[in-house]
């Protein structure tokens, strides 16, 4: 039961899912390795499937808890502007108190820890592409309502040097705009919005000016079949902070055109026994203040230190995500 607002945020009349608090605790004894994965939305869900076989439990990372583990993937909370707005206090608690609890746990049991940070730390960047050493240009005044900017001000994603003094084995992955199957359809991110809109035959809501750029990384380059960016970083010998993202950079208008072209808007589809007209249009809508104008990761470090490069292009990734969203929307491919 959802209706569209003008800027692409779907207004649900039902209560949103209990996010952002997927405070998932899972453990798996793989090759005598005890692994803990916390949170992380759909990336966490792929990682859990990859790493876990045995036990899956639900814990709340905002509460201290006591387990013996060797590896901790702390993925914080799902990256969703809509969920942040829905539950800002819980988001901040999850990110700040949760991270402090997890750091305490890692120190106590001597576990190796990988934290995920975000390209949002670079704000509206003045250097391009963004290197790990860039301090960033986040806008704490106009975007103060954004929960993520509060977290950036607190510095959760930047605490590397402080944390390194406490924990020898710490790694931080700075993740850039990941997309792929299992994303929540109402998460409000641009790729999920455009694909869902194209499948529903609704106009794609490009937020103005439309030439702002992002670099999109398909989830299997983070957590693929065998060996991936996050696991490489965890298991490699380099501690430190590394950008993990796909340098392929697109304007939002280019992304909208690509989605339109790939999702075949000419074929009518049967949705819930109703024939919908999927002639997809682009609708330019208002943006939120302070939206970053450009984002592109410099992945030299990932290439050199982890021998990692992303493999899935945007044109290959969109159809894979389309398949997943068709299932979610009960839409068959004609
Ligand atoms: O993964 C990341 O690095 C970050 O991505 C997002 O931040 P953002 O880069 O703004 O990603 P989107 O919300 O997907 O928006 C990307 C661009 O698309 C535009 N957009 C969004 C939604 C829409 O319907 N139409 C549209 O044109 C936005 O104005 C923005 O310029 C999340 O909000 C962050 O939590 C996350 O850490």
Ligand 1 atom 18, closest CA: 190
Coarse DSSP helix, strand, coil percentages of the chain, rounded to the nearest 5 percent:
35, 20, 45
Amino acid 28: pLDDT: 44
Q: What are phi and psi of 263, to 5 degrees?
A: -90, 10
This prediction's pTM: 0.85
Q: Is 330 exposed, middle or buried (0-12, 13-18, 19+ CB in 10 A)?
A: exposed
> Other CB atoms closer than 10 Å to residue 300's CB: what's the count?
14
Task: Name the strand (E) or helix (H) holding 85.
Answer: helix 81-86
Beta bridge partners of 24: 58
- Lowest model confidence (mean pLDDT) among 58-72, 138-152, 308-322: 138-152
- State whether the beta carbon of 205 lies less than 6 angstroms from ligand 1: yes
Q: For residue 125, what are its two tokens?
A: 């960047």
Place of tokens 């406490």: 166
Site to probe by mutation for ligand 1, drawn from 2, 78, 175, 207 as the one with most ligand atoms within 8 Å of Cβ, is 207
pLDDT tens digits for 150-204? Answer: 666 666 666 666 677 777 788 989 999 999 999 989 889 999 999 999 998 889 9
pLDDT at 308 over 60: yes
pLDDT of 17: 46
In a domain, 273, yes or no: yes
42: three-class secondary structure by DSSP: helix
Question: What CATH number did the domain enclosing 156 receive?
Answer: 3.40.50.720
Task: Say yes or no: CB of residue 10 within 6 Å of ligand 1.
Answer: no
Radius of gyration of the chain (CA): 20
pLDDT for 20 beyond 60: no
Specify if 334 maps to a domain.
Answer: no
* 11 or 259, greater pLDDT: 259
Give, in order, the Cα–Cα distances in Å from 78 to each of 52, 95, 130, 154, 199: 19, 10, 22, 18, 24
Q: Of the given ranges (55-59, 136-140, 323-327), which has the lowest mean pLDDT?
A: 55-59
User: Does residue 14 sit in helix, strand or coil?
Assistant: coil
pLDDT at 26: 44
Task: Tell me the range of 76-80, 118-122, 257-261 where mean pLDDT is highest.
Answer: 257-261
Residue 24 in this model has a pLDDT that exceeds 50: no
Other residues' Cβ atoms within 10 Å of the Cβ of residue 272: 8
177 Cβ closer than 6 Å to some ligand 1 atom: yes
Question: Residue 136 falls within a domain, yes or no?
Answer: yes
More confident residue, 248 or 86: 248
Task: Report how far residue 45's alpha carbon sits from residue 22's, in angstroms, rounded to the nearest whole number.
Answer: 10
What is the CA(81)–ligand 1 centre distance, in A?
A: 8
Is 80 exceeded by the pLDDT of residue 223? Answer: no
Domain housing 218: 2-329
Read off the pLDDT of residues 65-114 as tens digits, 9 standing for 90 and up.
788 888 888 887 767 777 777 777 877 888 888 888 888 889 899 999 99
Task: Inform me whether the pLDDT recorded for 237 exceeds 90.
Answer: no
Mean local confidence (pLDDT), 285-302: 93
How many CB atoms neighbour CB 154 within 10 A?
14
Closest CA relative to residue 38, chosen from 27, 23, 57, 53: 23
Q: Name the closest-CA residue to atom 28, ligand 1.
A: 207
Q: Which atom from ligand 1 is nearest to the alpha carbon of 197?
A: 24
CA distance 15 to 67: 33
Average pLDDT score over residue span 13-27: 43
Ligand 1 contact via 8 beta carbon (within 6 Å): yes
> At how many degrees (to 10) do helices 190-200 and 314-329 cross?
60
Distance 216 CA to ligand 1 centre (A): 10
Q: Is 9 in the pocket of ligand 1 (CB under 6 A)?
A: no
With a CB cutoff of 8 Å and minimum separation 6, the contacts of 110 are none
User: Measured between alpha carbons, how far is 258 from 133 in angstroms, rounded to an integer?
Assistant: 32
Q: Is residue 280 part of a domain?
A: yes
In a domain, residue 26? The reply is: yes
Mean pLDDT of the chain: 79
Residue 192 CA: nearest ligand 1 atom is 14
Contact yes or no for 38/61 (Cβ under 8 A): yes
pLDDT at 313 over 70: yes
Distance (Å) from CA 10 to ligand 1 centroid: 15
Q: Is the pLDDT of residue 263 over 70?
A: yes
Quote the number of domains for the chain. 1
DSSP 8-state symbol, 30: E
Question: b/e string for 29-67 if b means 16 or more Cβ within 10 A?
Answer: eeeeebbbbbbbbbbbbbbbebbbeeeeeeebbbeeeee
């Amino acid at each position: 039961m959802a209706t569209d607002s003008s800027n692409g945020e779907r207004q649900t009349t039902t209560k949103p899912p209990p996010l952002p608090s997927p405070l998932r605790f899972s453990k798996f004894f793989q090759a005598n390795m005890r692994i803990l994965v916390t949170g992380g939305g759909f990336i966490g869900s792929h990682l859990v499937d990859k790493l876990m076989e045995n036990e899956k439990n639900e814990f709340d990372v905002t509460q201290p808890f006591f387990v013996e583990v060797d590896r901790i993937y702390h993925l914080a909370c799902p990256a969703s502007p809509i969920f942040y707005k829905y539950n800002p206090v819980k988001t901040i608690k999850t990110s700040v108190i949760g991270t402090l609890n997890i750091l305490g746990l890692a120190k106590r049991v001597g576990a190796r820890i990988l934290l995920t940070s975000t390209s949002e730390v670079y704000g509206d960047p003045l250097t391009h592409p963004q290197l790990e050493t860039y301090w960033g240009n986040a806008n704490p005044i106009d975007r103060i309502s954004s929960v993520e900017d509060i977290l950036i001000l607190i510095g959760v994603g930047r605490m590397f040097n402080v944390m390194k003094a406490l924990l020898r084995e710490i790694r931080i992955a700075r993740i850039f705009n990941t997309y792929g199957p299992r994303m929540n359809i109402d998460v409000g991110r641009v790729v999920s919005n455009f694909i869902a809109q194209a499948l529903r035959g609704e106009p794609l809501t490009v937020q103005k000016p439309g030439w702002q750029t992002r670099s999109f990384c398909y989830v299997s380059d983070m957590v693929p079949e065998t060996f991936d960016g996050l696991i490489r970083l965890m298991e490699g010998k380099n501690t430190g902070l590394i950008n993990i993202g796909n340098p392929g950079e697109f304007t939002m208008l280019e992304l909208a055109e690509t989605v339109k072209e790939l999702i075949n808007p000419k074929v009518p589809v049967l949705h819930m026994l109703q024939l919908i007209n999927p002639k997809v249009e682009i609708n330019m809508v208002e943006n939120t203040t302070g939206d970053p104008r450009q984002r592109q990761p410099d992945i030299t470090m990932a290439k050199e230190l982890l021998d990692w490069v992303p493999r899935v292009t945007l044109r290959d990734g969109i159809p894979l995500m389309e398949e997943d969203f068709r299932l979610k929307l009960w839409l068959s491919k004609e």
